[in-house]
Structure formats: C-alpha cells, structure tokens
Structure 1
Amino acid sequence: MIVYKTEEEIELIRVSAKILAQAHGEVAGMIKEGVTTRQLDQRAEEFIRDHGAQPSFKGYNDFPFSLCISPNSVVVHGFPSDYTLKSGDIISVDAGVFYNGYHSDSAYTYPVGEVAPEVLKLLEETKKSLYVGIEQAVAGNRMGDVSFAIQNHVEKQGYGVVRELVGHGIGEKLHERPEVPNYGKRGSGLKLQTGLVIAIEPMVNLGTKNVVQEKDGWTIRTKDNKPSAHFEHTVVVRKDKAEILTSFEYIEKALQ
C-alpha cells in the first residue's frame, strides 16, 4: 500500500529532515585526510541524539551503525570502521533521522584532498542527475519519468546506473512503497500524486553498472572496483514543482 502524506505529516518529516541536514553538516566539517570513518559515524549519532532524534539506520535489520559510509568503489551500505581517509578518496555518507514518528533520508558524496578529474566529474554529474530526477517528481507524471531522467543524464556521460538498489517511499517507515528506480521508461509506472513522499537517490558508477555484495551481507561494491557516487534527497510530490525536504545547505557551508 502507498501512503500519501497529509500536510501535517509532511511538516513532521520536514522537521526530521532539518535535523538530518544539520547532522550532515557536522560530518561534512570533519571530512579530511587522517579522519576515520568511525569518527564520522560517532559524531553523527551524537548530534542526532542530542537533538532528541534517533539515527534511522542503527538497528534497522540489525545494521550496527548510524551512517552508511561508502568509500571509493563501495556503492552503498558500507560500515564505518578504522579506515582512515586519504587524499584521492571519495566517500559517500548516507544518513537517516527518526523524529516524532517520521523518517528522513539523504546522502552526499565528498572528495577528499586531490581527487582525479574524471572522478570529480562523476560526483558532479551524479549530483546533477538527482536534481534532474527531482524536476520530474510532479503530480501527473509517472515514476518512469523520474527514473528515465536520471538514467538518461548519467548514461550520456558513459556511466553505469545501478539497477539492484533503488530509492523508496518514506514516512513512518524508513522504506515504504513505492520503489524509485534510477532507470526506466518515460510514461511508465505509478502515476505520481500530491503528498507522495519519496527518497530519490541516484547510485552511479564510473564503469560498469554491475555490483557485488560483500561477505558482511551489507556492503555493495562495483564489480569492476571503479568509483561510485551517491546523492539523495527526501522529496514531496507537488502539483507544479517537487518540494525538497532535506537540504545540502549545511554541507555546503561546512565545505566553504
């Protein structure tokens, strides 16, 4: 069943999303050479809990951390660890916040130090593809319009779009229906209606679209071990223009 949200519910998600955006800003300010991914996870959890909220991911299907931190060829669901960031890395930070009964979810991929130009371009185009997808998330369009827009944008650059992992509805549960694929056909799929809240999250690989799962049962890596980028916003479908509930504002301030 697809749950359309009332304006009151959307407001609660918006509050959750603000805490999430601020937590992302805290993490963004720490990302530099010599920092461990575990330190980033600890800071995010501390910030979220200090604001009376809970990390959505911790304990979700027994996931043991507050953040999914995915360096380089890890696409998503990477475990924070004693891995120390070094120049040339890219690192995806995916986080969720549960507050007053509602979840929010967003992700951002960062360059660390001096990163190869073709990898910086992957980050830039993946981020652009997120907004290209969001532009299609308006009432009357179909899910395939969102999916096609993302796929078309990144495949023109020669990148691979991950098929096995998709965006999702979000609200009282972290993952709700419908699924939001990053590939598809224009005019196909669910007809979008006002009040549908979805997490749109392109996962885009520099090389092949194919991925493998590691032995921990969570970590997803590119099959060819080339870098992967991931950006995500929580969005509400509106009549004329989608409304983005999460924000990269605090990240951008921290990176200045």
Structure 2
Amino acid sequence: MIQLKSDREIAKMRLAGLVVWRAHQIAAELIGPGATTRAIDAALDNYFAQLGATPLFKNYPHHEKGKPAFPAVTCMSRNEVVVHGIPDDRPLEEGDILSIDTGVRLGGWCGDAAVTHAIGKIDPEVQRLLDVTQGALQLAFDLLHTKDRWSQIAAEMARYVKDHGFSTVEDFVGHGIGRKMHEDPQVPNFVSRSLRGRADFFIEPGLVLAIEPMVNMGTPKVRLLRDAWTQVTKDGQPSAHFEHTIAVTRDGPVRLTVAPSKEEEALMEDLMAVSSPGLERLIEW
C-alpha cells in the first residue's frame, strides 16, 4: 500500500536527503586512483555516526534465510558490478568507474541516493554510459511534471536508454521510501509485466520515490557472485547507476538528495555542527 507523505513529512525527509547528499560529497573528495572503497566506506560510517544517523544498508538482512547481512554502509559497485558491491581493499585504478549507493534514517525518515564516478580519465564510451544513465534519471524527473502514471515514465526511460544503444537492468528496480527504505510501490525503469497490470500507480502529491536507473553497456542480464550480494553484468561489461529520492508536491517534483538551497544552508551548518539543539531544530523543520 502506497503511503503518501504530508508536506511536513517531506520536509523531514529532506533533512535525511541532505545528509545523504553530504555523504556523497565526502566520498567524491576521497575518490581517486589508489583509494580503496573500504576506506571511503569507513569515512562515511564515521560521518553518519557523528550525526547519530542510522545507515540503511549496514546489517541489512539478506532475502534468503541463512545468507549474511550486508556488511557496510555503502554499496561500492566497480566497473562490471551493477549493484550491492561490498567495499574492499583493492586500490581504485585510472579508468575505473565506481557506483556508490548509500542511505540513512534521521529523525525517523529515510534518504537514499546513488552516483557513478569516473576514476581519472575513462573511455569515452564508458563516459557516454554514465551520461545516458544520468540522463534517464533526469528524464524521469522531468516527466513527473507531465505524466499521470508511472508506466508512462518507465516506458520513456527504457526507450531513451535503448535509443542510445545501452540496456536497462530489469532485475532491480526503484522503490517507495519514507519511514522505511523500501516501501510501496516498486518503481521499475522499464514497463514490467506487473506494471502493465495492477502494479501501476498514479503520480500524485505526497508520493516519494527512490528512482534509480541501472544501465549496462551490453546485456541487461546479471549474475550473483559467491559473496551472496554482489551482482555483476553477465558479459563483464560496465554498468552505471544513478539515484535520487524524489518527492511529488503540489508544486511539482522535488529532489530531496541534492545540494542545499541558499535558504537551507543555515540548516546544513547546524547539521554539520552536530549540536543537539541544532539537530532538534532541523528535525522539527
């Protein structure tokens, strides 16, 4: 069941979104040849701990009984890894790409976002993959202004990716988000069988979605590695992933995981000061 959010609840989700945005800025400052994903993950773990924010990914239970929980605060997906890559000690190299996905709960509300980074100079075709994936996310945001149902947006996203010569991953989809990271509805980046039926939903004020196109250079097919989490492209070609938490308001869609506006900068300063009164004021905002 889809749970629509009030303006006040969306404002509180914006706070969590600002934390996620800042986490991605910290990660971007640390990325480069020679850096390790484990070190970047540790830095974000420390940042979240300082704020008293709860990482959404760390110890997230596996859907299969007996499999290990996810061990980190970020998914670090390098080159052919599509999603759910586990941070490790392998140094990043010039020409790599790295998708970082992370999320937090703060004040009872969640934020979630992903970015694919180029490590130094990358192949032009790989850069085009990143641009198209980010373009698919931008297209979805733009269409939230004009379309009535998600199926219409998903169809345009998949067509956009295909027209640029890439493929949309169909094994993983976006999701509703609020007090929990994963809420209804499922938000595919293509017109799934379920979306053709009862799983389609209206675009209406109060809807908050984590929209996250995952796009492969070659086949859309994936396979699971032995660690029970890491999903890689079946043909070993690169994959890119971009995500924002986006709210639909009466005035149109709003990204909740982007940089603070001028009006929000003072709130962000309070947040970075990690003062209890500041946090209380922010959570009440």
Q: Please state which band the TM-score falls in when normalised by the shorter chain.
A: over 0.9
Q: Which amino acid aligns with 2:91?
A: T
Say what the alpha-carbon RMSD is for the aligned residues.
1.7
The equivalent of 1:253 in structure 2 is: none
Deviations 1:117-164 (A, max 9, x none): 000010011101101011222486101122112111111011010001
Deviations 1:100-125 (A, max 9, x none): 11110000000001210000010011
TM-score by length of 2: 0.84
Shift of 1:248: 5.8
Kept in 2, the 8 Å contact 1:134–1:146? The answer is: no
Kept in 1, the 8 Å contact 2:18–2:259? The answer is: no
The equivalent of 2:17 in structure 1 is: 17
The equivalent of 1:254 in structure 2 is: none
2:130 counterpart (117, 120, 123): 123
Matched, 1:190 2:197: no
Structure 2: state its 5+ residue gaps: 62-68, 261-285
Q: Secondary structure, in 3 states, of the residue corresponding to 1:9? A: helix
Instruction: Provide the C-alpha distance between the structure 2 equivalents of 1:140 and 1:108, rounded to a whole number of angstroms.
Output: 25
Kept in 2, the 8 Å contact 1:139–1:192? The answer is: no
Instruction: Provide the C-alpha distance between the structure 1 equivalents of 2:98 and 2:259, rounded to a whole number of angstroms.
Output: 16
Q: What is the percent sequence identity of the aligned residues?
A: 41
Kept in 2, the 8 Å contact 1:129–1:150? The answer is: yes
Write the mapping of 1:32-51 to structure 2, written as runs, cut at 5 A.
32-51=32-51
Matched, 1:151 2:154: no
Instruction: Provide the C-alpha distance between the structure 2 equivalents of 1:248 and 1:109, rounded to a whole number of angstroms.
Output: 17
Write the mapping of 1:130-149 to structure 2, written as runs, cut at 5 A.
130-138=137-145, 141-149=148-156
TM-score by length of 1: 0.93
Matched, 1:68 2:75: yes
Q: Which amino acid aligns with 1:238?
A: T
Shift of 1:50: 1.1
Kept in 2, the 8 Å contact 1:139–1:239? The answer is: no
Instruction: Provide the C-alpha distance between the structure 2 equivalents of 1:4 and 1:11, rounded to a whole number of angstroms.
Output: 13
Shift of 1:181: 0.4
Write the mapping of 1:191-230 to structure 2, written as runs, cut at 5 A.
191-230=202-241
Q: Which amino acid aligns with 2:243?
A: E
Shift of 1:71: 0.1
Which moved further from structure 2: 72-81 or 48-57?
A: 48-57
Change (3 A) 1:77 1:162: same
Q: Which amino acid aligns with 2:19?
A: I
Q: Secondary structure, in 3 states, of the residue corresponding to 1:242? A: strand
The equivalent of 1:237 in structure 2 is: 248
Which moved further from structure 2: 3-12 or 233-242?
A: 233-242
Q: Which amino acid aligns with 1:202?
A: P
1:179 counterpart (166, 176, 186): 186
Deviations 1:8-64 (A, max 9, x none): 211111000001100110010010000111001001111122122121111111211
Kept in 2, the 8 Å contact 1:37–1:80? The answer is: yes
Matched, 1:85 2:92: yes
Structure 1: state its 5+ residue gaps: 250-256
Q: Secondary structure, in 3 states, of the residue corresponding to 2:102? A: strand
The equivalent of 2:58 in structure 1 is: 58
Q: Which amino acid aligns with 1:143?
A: W
Deviations 1:147-194 (A, max 9, x none): 112111111011010001000000111100101101118x95211221
Shift of 1:240: 5.2
